[in-house]
Amino acid sequence: MEQQEMRDLIISALVLAFVFAYSGIGNFEKLIFDFPIALLVISLGFILHELGHRQLARRFKCYAEYKLWKQGLLLAVLIAFISSGNFIFAAPGAVMIHPRADLWGRTASLSRRSAGLISIAGPIVNIILAVSFLVLNLVYPLTLFGTNVFQYGALINTWLALFNLIPVPPLDGSKIFAWDLKIWGAMIAVAIALLILV
């Protein structure tokens, strides 16, 4: 992994952890306790989500690298402040994907199916993590500073999956929707069911 890509992932994870932990100007003490837990869970859920896209794109012989989106980071912080942490904008960056050129400089464009499969990898990672956190919570509920860590992990990963499944470009949902409406509908149904469970 390139140094720049690692830096972009770390900055994005820190900002996302802040917006998930933030709950209003008057709750500074809660933010101090919630931020490390949010950072741990976000680092796992967000970074694995992006690496899921990256690895699958590379299997399709594409160039793939995570890049942060400065405006997305600023928007995430601004929306967190305006809504006192009640709404999370979770689009701090994305994996940039380009088909590789051959020796003659020719590139083949990705099919809708390939683009859909690459896009679905991230939300699937979050759904698997959310289910894993729910199972861990049933087996061994862990509370730190008044926060149920595994339930919090399930909530964050469910939200990341659900947000990314919105069928609006450049979110993952738009490419999945364009590829296969039934698969997109099944993914949305699973994410909503998880949100209700959490």
pLDDT in the model for residue 104? 64
Domain, as residue range, for 101: 3-197
pLDDT in the model for residue 106? 61
- Confirm whether 65 is a catalytic residue: no
What tokens were used for 101? 């050129």
The domain total for the chain is 1
User: Is 70 exceeded by the pLDDT of residue 80?
Assistant: yes
Quick one: which of 92, 111, 110 has its CA closest to 170? 92
What tokens were used for 178? 């364009």
| Residue 35 contacts residue 28 (beta carbons within 8 Å) | no
Quick one: which of 122, 149, 14 has its CA closest to 68? 14
Q: Per-residue pLDDT tens for 143-191?
A: 887 788 999 999 999 999 999 999 998 899 999 999 999 999 999 999 9
Q: Which of 2, 5, 29, 50 is catalytic?
A: 50
User: Is 70 exceeded by the pLDDT of residue 8?
Assistant: yes
Interhelix angle 172-179/181-197, nearest 10 degrees: 130
Distance CA 14, CA 18 (A): 6
pTM: 0.88
